[in-house]
Structure 1
Amino acid sequence: MALLAKQMWRLLHHPTSLLAWVLKGRYFRHISPMEVKTSNSPSYGWRSILAHKTFSAKIIDQSSKQWRVEVLEALIDLGDVQLIQSLRPSDNFRDDGYCWIHTKSGMYIVKSGYKLAMQLKEEKVKTAVTEPCINPLQAMIWKLQAPRKLKHFLWQALTGCMVTCGRLANRHCGTDRSCPRFGDFEESINHLMFLCPPALQTWALSDIPTSPGSFPRDSLFENFDYLLLRAKENGTPQNLIARLPWIAWFIWKARNDKVFNGNDIIPPDTVLDATREEENWRVAQVLPGNEVTGRNLDLITDILENESPLPRCLVDASWVTNSTDSGGGFVFDLVSGTHMYGSFGMDQVLSPLHAEFTILVLAMKSSLQLGFTSMSFQTDCLQLVKLINDEEDWRALASEWNEFIHLLSSFTVFSISFIARECNVRADLLAKEAHLQNSIFSHVNSDIPG
């Protein structure tokens, strides 16, 4: 810009130069180059010079040799304008010319032009209303441990490239803006992914912590910022954050299943499918000959070590501070290949360990009632496993311990072992769903509770 302004300055002060004669004959034959607004088929060089010409204001009408009062009033204090008007331009001034006020000499130099341009740029940045920069979030999406298809999907959601009813209406590809799953709201990307009631419940059922005011919010960028950055800073384990791509993807699939097939996918199934797919993908990354490290090794070890010829029962509890109740769930995987599901809404107990022990006792009772005296119980509560296997003395669990010992005497074969949370998704979902009911109930059946 500073160099182009130098070219304009040369045209103004050296009108007899070869360049000035050539450009004058082509673009400003009867006027000053500063007065040119448009040209017919201009060259790239001339367009560039015009695009960066500096502001000028002629204060003398050259034909009448009179002051241009409207220009004076725009530039100078009104009291001074009256004094200037008392003087005749023809008596005291030569022909109106150009002066560069940012140097003492009044002559334009590139250094002063560059300095002014930088000052104007900084002032524009300070006063401009800037939108949030999503580049860091985009970079984090590509670093996620997930299939490229899922990372590309998240990138599309973040950058506003997803097809929603609202966006289709904006592009005149339809008139219905309403959400196909919950028609009272316009379907935006943020609504589809986070605020639609089925999506909202899906995030609540996942292990990623949600809380009013922090997540989810009305801003798509804030929601992605929370999932990709803030959740980890707030102490959410990395293995839970890793499920983000699959949860978002299956929310999108559930929406499309409703739009194109008319099927209603309930949030617990969405979470279950997302978690199962994430687990399968993790396991598939550990191939013969590949390096096996970290969480993948732990997951494979848990799966292999927990294979048992006995029927097994997966148990889990849901306990929240300051809540009036808690929930529990268990799943019987029987040798015949059938399943039994248990879901319990319970009064609030003292601690998460109390809730885990209580649901274990209820699962033992159900096992005996169903006629299974040999059972392998599995839980993701390591503290409960240590408590039972090491027979630690917990006075706070005295009543639960006595009932446990009484039921234990009725089993011919009993074992309890620890499994990773990734392998206990079904019981976990049953427990959370039971807690959300806010009531005392029990359900043991081969059908998944509604």
Structure 2
Amino acid sequence: MNTILILNAQVVNEGKIETKDVFVKDGLIDKIGTGLSGLQADNVIDAKGKYLFPGVIDDQVHFREPGLTHKACIHSEARAGVAGGVTTFMEMPNTVPNALTQDLLADKYEIAARTSLANYSFYMGVSNDNLEEALKTNPENVCGLKVFMGSSTGNMLVDNEQTLDNIFSKSSLLIATHCEVEGIIKANTEIYKQKFGDNPHPRVHPEIRSVEACYNSSSMAIELAKKHNTRLHILHISTGDETELFRNDIPLKEKRITSEVCVHHLYFDARDYETLGNQIKCNPAIKADGHKQRIFQALLDNKIDVIATDHAPHLWSEKENPYWSSPSGLPLVQHPLNLMLEFYHEGKISLERIAEKMSHAVADCFQISKRGYIREGYWADLVLVDLENTTTVSKENVYYQCGWSPLEGKTFNSTITHTIVSGHLAFENGQFNESVQGKRLLFER
């Protein structure tokens, strides 16, 4: 394993920004300090004027492999993430076939071991009839169980109340949930089909997948978790109403119920359907402007614990379909750090809080072993950022297999210059080094 010496970096870590040198050896952070320039290293990076963050840990992505590789694959999407500072991802089970058995879950880990430039973990899926199999999941090397309490993923919908009660009562693992009420969405769908016919404008999406559908489902999940003392993590909060369901009066490590917000629910709002249409159609829906303001405040107030992407690519030709047949999901894993740094440039969040919500808190929430912080003895997952240089998103520099981004034409006031994954310099000034793959996450549970 090569050694790396980073000199004169503004290290953003654990609530502080300090000028430090960082020496990486055998994949780990060996030394952090000043005056380390005399050390010999295979790669020396002068980071003067740049900011060194812990690598972004994205706890919710859809990389489409196996079975949907016409849209994306683990190799392509992990690579795109690394270009944007995402050193670690946790991927969802709604591939084809769904990851509903231990053998199918193991298959995904085998693919990642061969092809993923980023570190990885995969959720075990839970359906209405595989609880016994799901409970075999090893908590030390799998991030958690995923329950779809909504119609987002077809046959992975868990809509049986007794099944949900059994899952919440019997699982010792973290349960991550997609929360929307199927019945409300179906009723709204019938109303809007009668009202608008075969091709309504995508602006109806947040009215069909409504605030009520989200709030009622999240409330139900929280009630079940409180009843059984379950470790619950609710994904992609999209309404201000839901933020009132969460606590901020105890430290994150003591919470049994946590929550996540995705960058698109902070950045876009319902007005953007007018120009972007189906490009930003996703589940749960991007809501009216007031919701993103309330969600952002809840993030700052620690009612919402972590930031993710819910990266979910589809072909452009699929997105061009009429509203009813256009699939939900948008590709985002290449730009979450750029997006959050825009909020920093606007004075809405500090660099220290970005590192906390995208790295520290994710590691704490999932109890990830030796990641998420810039500490001696931890894995060297590091991202170097130039806050004085710009990045304009275009088809030419989007690395997703699907080849498009809803952010095309956007100029960010920051550039990701280097990404180090488990001590390997995987991305440097627009160039990839794919000679070493990322590592499987381990958990201290």
Shared fold, TM over 0.5: no
TM-score, length of structure 2 as denominator length: 0.22
Please tell me whether Structure 1 or Structure 2 has the larger radius of gyration of its CA atoms: 1
Structure with greater strand percent? 2
Name which structure has the greater RCO, CA cutoff 8 Å, separation 6+: 2
TM-score, with length taken from structure 1: 0.22
